[in-house]
């Protein structure tokens, strides 16, 4: 799962800390602000065959290449960042779907591991 340990809010109450990792410098992430944070707006189960070629190109292109999209069921995640909206696709699993549904409206740290 793309989640780290529990953090404390300003009132000292435990809350989940959310993270999502990207291992390439994707063009779609140019909407991030300096803090690399974004709010998860929606998670949608989807099959690759339901996506247009233009959308797949947008979502998978990074500096120096293009990610080969899995042919299995996916979760389309829609995030709102400081300078706009971006999406990402993750492999669908029942527990991942529940996790992302529970995280609607939550702020995620966007971790760029290969930038």
Range of the domain at 50: 3-112
Predicted local distance difference test score (pLDDT) of residue 11? 59
Q: pLDDT digit string (tens) for 25-55? A: 999 999 998 899 999 999 999 999 999 999 9
Q: Which residues of the chain have pLDDT under 70?
A: 1-14, 115
Q: Give ∠ CA 38-42-46 in degrees, rounded to 5.
A: 125
Strand order in the sheet with 37-46: 3-8, 14-22, 107-112, 37-46, 74-81, 84-91
- pTM score, two decimals? 0.85
Please list the alpha-helical segments (H only) found in 22-79.
53-60
């Amino acid at each position: 799962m793309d989640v780290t340990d529990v953090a404390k809010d300003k009132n000292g109450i435990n809350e989940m800390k959310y993270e999502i990792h990207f291992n390439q410098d994707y063009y779609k992430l140019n909407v991030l602000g300096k803090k690399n944070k974004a709010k998860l707006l929606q998670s949608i189960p989807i099959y690759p065959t339901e996506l247009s070629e233009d959308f797949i190109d947008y979502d998978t292109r990074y500096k120096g290449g293009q990610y080969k999209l899995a042919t299995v069921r996916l979760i389309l995640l829609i995030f709102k960042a400081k300078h706009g909206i971006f999406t990402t696709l993750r492999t669908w699993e029942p527990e991942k779907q529940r996790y992302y549904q529970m995280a609607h409206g939550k702020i995620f740290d966007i971790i760029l591991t290969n930038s």
